Structure 1
Amino acid sequence: MNYWLFKTEPDTFSIDDLINRPEQTEPWEGVRNYQARNFLRDEVAEGDHVFIYHSSCKLVGIAGIATVVRAGYADESQFDPDSAYYDPKADRDDPRWFRVDVKFKEKFARVLPLKTIKQMPDITNIGLVKKGHRLSIMPVDQQEWKTLSDAARQT
């Protein structure tokens, strides 16, 4: 099992939106960065755990946890001209963009703020604390997952 952090803007899609979806499951679509796409296509697997991270909002940070319930498959929004994620260069026989399905697992009582995460001495590997790392999907090592999960549950 691997661990991940998926960023989302809560005005567009939040942990609460995931909770309110049928079966609390949603395709994680619209990722349009090649490195993040490669993670979705090649590495994110069924059963992996995901931090849902709220960004571009008043309280930026980790809001909860989801589980991957379907590994990478073609993001249909790339083929839909009415979608904000439409890609006219996309080809059904060789898709450019991928998504996974995630299922709600846990919402923290409070968001674990980025400011707090950056002050944690044991958190040094995750892209959130490294300059220039702005990926919407990033791996989290097992020890940092445990440290962040424990801290989020205590806030």
Structure 2
Amino acid sequence: MSLQITEELKAKAELYYGDQVCRERFSLLLAEIGLPDGLLTIQNIEECGYVKETGFVWLKLQKKREDRLDNILVCYDTQVTAFVEPNKIKNLTGVKAKEFLIWVTLSEIHVKGPPEGSVITFKSLVGLSLSLPLAWFQGGKEAQQGKEEKWWRTIKFCT
């Protein structure tokens, strides 16, 4: 369940409107907190907001959107919310992923490891996680298209 975006919250936020501006600003925010810009694969963003004091961020989309990363299907709701901090997105709402015919709601994304050989881990509310090489998400989606190399994936139950 996402946090309600109120006028009071908007008054505290940096607000941006329009797809191009929102994607640019969100990509800058990802870089600022140490996450790759390739995490943002969605388009048609109407509004982006960021409350720096709390780390709360939201994206409002024109409509639900699905995107495919290799054999993983990612579904974005019309509103995506989260709290950001260095190397981590937590309390994520509005994003689901499907692999092996199972839909899971993502709740956290974080990066671990030295700059080379780092992994990015996606966690769900039900205790599943998926770790992928960080390099897969660097340089945006366009940089990844056409690559034939397949990455090893680890899906595990969180403890």
TM-score computed with the length of structure 2 as normaliser = 0.23
TM-score computed with the length of structure 1 as normaliser = 0.23
Structure with greater proportional helix content: 1
Q: Structure with the greater relative contact order (CA < 8 A, sep ≥ 6): 1 or 2? A: 1
